[in-house]
């Protein structure tokens, strides 16, 4: 299992953001995406997750092998922590809800409804979901938003465990996770050149 993406070009809302992105990830490796706001980190992650097609280039990993975690956690407000997590575990046909809750320090909150959680607790639940997917490649978009320092450390620990078990992770983040072994890819250098306006637009220039 390895991820090879070559010469990717991605667009958001019809505007080309990135081009010429190539990356390679083998089990046990982590990659941190950096770059200014709006440079295409989320777009690249959604493309790798198969949620949107690449404009050009190839991705070796089928979407069935990756777990995506975006800005929204995908939680149902009226379900409890355990019910939310069990649902995703059943969808992925996996066990390990208890282990995931323990790893993200959610065991005490197991029977609380998601609507009564704090922002950081919701995010911890969203990240615990990754552990019950059983997918080898985690695509994480700003995973540490609204987490406190202790929770960031917990998260760093589950990522490290995941890597040790032969997983891999790509993270778009602005803060230091303490994953010193992770490679860093700055997307600032892959900004797509502005496209020449096509005929229709030219008529209005």
Residue listed under structure tokens 């620990």: 157
CB 178 within 8 A of CB 151: no
CB 159 within 8 A of CB 179: yes
CB neighbourhood size of 13 (10 A): 6
Tell the smallest beta-carbon distance from residue 181 to other proteins (Å).
26
Q: Of 32, 53, 55, give the one whose Cα is nearest residue 173.
A: 32
Helix (H, G, I), strand (E, B) or coil at 48: helix
Tell the smallest beta-carbon distance from residue 78 to other proteins (Å).
4
Report the distance separating Cα 80 and Cα 68, nearest Å: 22
Tell the smallest beta-carbon distance from residue 76 to other proteins (Å).
6
Tell the smallest beta-carbon distance from residue 16 to other proteins (Å).
14
- Closer by beta carbon to other proteins, 11 or else 158: 11
CB 19 within 8 A of CB 9: yes
- Closer by beta carbon to other proteins, 79 or else 110: 79
Report the distance separating Cα 113 and Cα 100, nearest Å: 17
- Closer by beta carbon to other proteins, 170 or else 186: 170
Tell the smallest beta-carbon distance from residue 65 to other proteins (Å).
10
Residues that bind other proteins (CB under 8 A): 49-53, 63-64, 66-68, 70-79, 83, 87-88, 90-93, 129
- Closer by beta carbon to other proteins, 145 or else 179: 145
- Closer by beta carbon to other proteins, 92 or else 160: 92
């Amino acid at each position: 299992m390895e991820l090879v993406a070559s010469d990717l070009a991605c667009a958001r809302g019809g505007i080309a953001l990135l081009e010429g992105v190539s990356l390679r990830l083998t089990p046990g490796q982590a990659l941190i995406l950096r770059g200014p706001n709006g440079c295409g980190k989320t777009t690249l992650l959604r493309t790798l997750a198969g949620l949107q097609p690449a404009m050009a280039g190839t991705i070796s990993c089928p979407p069935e092998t990756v777990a995506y975690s975006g800005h929204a956690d995908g939680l149902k407000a009226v379900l409890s922590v355990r019910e939310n997590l069990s649902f995703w575990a059943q969808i992925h046909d996996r066990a390990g809800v208890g282990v995931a809750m323990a790893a993200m320090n959610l065991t005490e909150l197991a029977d609380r409804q998601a609507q009564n959680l704090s922002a950081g607790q919701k995010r911890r639940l969203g990240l615990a979901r990754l552990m019950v997917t059983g997918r080898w490649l985690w695509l994480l978009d700003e995973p540490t938003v609204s987490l406190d320092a202790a929770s960031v450390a917990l998260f760093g620990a589950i990522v490290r465990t995941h890597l040790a078990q032969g997983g891999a992770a790509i993270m778009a983040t602005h803060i230091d996770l303490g994953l010193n072994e992770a490679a860093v890819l700055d997307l600032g250098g892959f900004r797509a050149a502005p496209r020449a306006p096509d005929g229709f637009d030219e008529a209005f220039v």
